[in-house]
Every structure is written in C-alpha cells, then in structure tokens.
Amino acid sequence: MEGKNMTPKILKSILGILTTLLLLMTTLHVQASSFEGKKILFINSYHDGYPWSDGITNGVKRTLADTGVNLKIVWMDTKRNTDETFITEAAQRVRKEIETFRPDVVIAADDNASKHVIQPFFKDADLPFVFCGVNWDASIYGFPYKNVTGMVEVAGAKELIEILRDLAKGQKIAMLANDTYTARKDMENYRDKLGIDISLKLVDSMTAWKET
C-alpha cells in the first residue's frame, strides 16, 4: 500500500500481526514474558523517509521495544528504484542478510518483499515470515505457504467512487498515479475485482505530475 498516512485502523491491524508474531515466537521454546536473544529481521520494501513504510517501521519498533528482541531492519529501496535489475539485486542482498543474521522470524512489508524475497527464496522454508501491506491479493505470490502468514490491504475504491458520483458529472473515471508496481496492481484489481473501468496515467516525477 502506498502514499497514505498510517491510520489507526491500519496500525491496529499491523500491531495485531505483530502480536501474532510474538505468540508464534513462544512456540520456539521461549517464555512469553521474555524474548531476550531472539532475533527479528524486518524487510522494508521501500526506503527510510517514505511516510507509508515509516509508519509500519515505527509500529514494529514500538511493539518490540523492551521485549529483549534484537531487531534488524533492511531497506530494499524499490520505491525510488523501479528497475528490475536493481530490484533483483536488492532481493539478493536481503537474502544474504537473512542468511547472515539468522533471524527467528522475518517481517516483510509491502508487495516487493513478498514477490522478490519470500516467493523465490523462502517458500515453505523452516523460517517463519509475517507479511503486511500486500495489496489486494497475496495468492499471486503463491501464498499461503506453511511458513507464511500476514495481512492483505484492500483500497476502498468502490466506496470512494460512489461518493464521487454525487460530486461529478459524467461516467468517465481517470487515475493519476506514480509509475510503480503497486499502482499497476491496483488498476488491475479495480478492473478485475471491482469491475471499474478507469483510464490510468502513470508518472515518474513531480514535473510530470504537475504537467499532467
């Protein structure tokens, strides 16, 4: 999910996922009151300073504070770098981080971590993963796996359009978005799952955004 501030509802859902994660860790023969020495690796699909993923990162930090957990955060930086070669190399780097750090659990935020890290390298592995921020449909990554659980995000596009019908004339709908995998995935789901016909315009810079 992109470009949105962390709402209380979403934050609550993410914290619920993290609660599940901590309960999962109790199956690793650890006392529920102490996770001292346990390690969690958090994969941020984007970069430090991007508001949406910063909200998730901060939620993870707050939830795990004072638990004794050793938290390591890695950024894939795929928001600013959308080239497939870069993303593939970023995924390989994350894979090496996981193999070196040897976490007890991995949290994977947003689609690219699931698509480029979990699916190709850790399907049905012994290492447990918790994903969040995956848009619309996680089955496209082969989920569920025996070692993966998480939360899917769905945009309220249909409800928004119903509101706009009272404010706009005509039936044509256009969408202006940044040129990312998530925007294209959203568009496919608006058409396929919601039956909404939208004209899509993708831009890759603020200048292009203003010109459009």
pLDDT digits 0-9 by tens, 50-97: 987 888 898 888 888 888 899 999 999 999 998 999 999 999 999 999
The confidence band for 21, taking pLDDT boundaries of 50, 70 and 90, is: low
Higher pLDDT, 80 or 23: 80
What is the tens place of the pLDDT at every residue in 119-171?
999 999 999 999 988 887 889 899 989 999 888 877 666 777 777 777 777 77
- Say yes or no to pLDDT of 36 above 70: yes
d(CA 130, CA 108): 6
The size of the chain, in residues, is 212
pTM: 0.69
State yes or no: pLDDT of 18 exceeds 70: no
Average pLDDT, the chain: 81
Whole-number pLDDT of residue 90: 98
Label residue 164 exposed, middle or buried (CB < 10 Å: 0-12, 13-18, 19+).
exposed
Name the residue with higher pLDDT: 89 or 13: 89
Q: How confident is the model at residue 198 (pLDDT cuts 50, 70, 90)?
A: confident
List the CATH code of the domain at 8-153.
3.40.50.2300
Mean pLDDT, residues 93-119 taken together: 96
pLDDT band at 17 (very low <50, low <70, confident <90, very high): low
> What percentage of the chain has pLDDT greater than the value 90?
36
Sign, CA torsion 8/10/12/14: negative
Which of the pair, 21 or 160, is modelled with greater confidence? Answer: 160
Q: Break the chain into its structural domains and give their ranges.
A: 8-153, 157-211
Q: Examine the pLDDT at 30 and tell me if it is beyond 60.
A: no
Q: Hey, which of 21-25, 178-182, 201-205 has the most confident mean pLDDT?
A: 201-205
The span from the CA of 197 to the CA of 84, in Å, is: 28
Q: What φ, ψ does residue 181 adopt, rounded to 5°?
A: -60, -40
CA atoms of 185 and 190, how far apart (whole Å) = 9
- The radius of gyration computed from the CA coordinates of the chain, to the nearest angstrom, equals 19
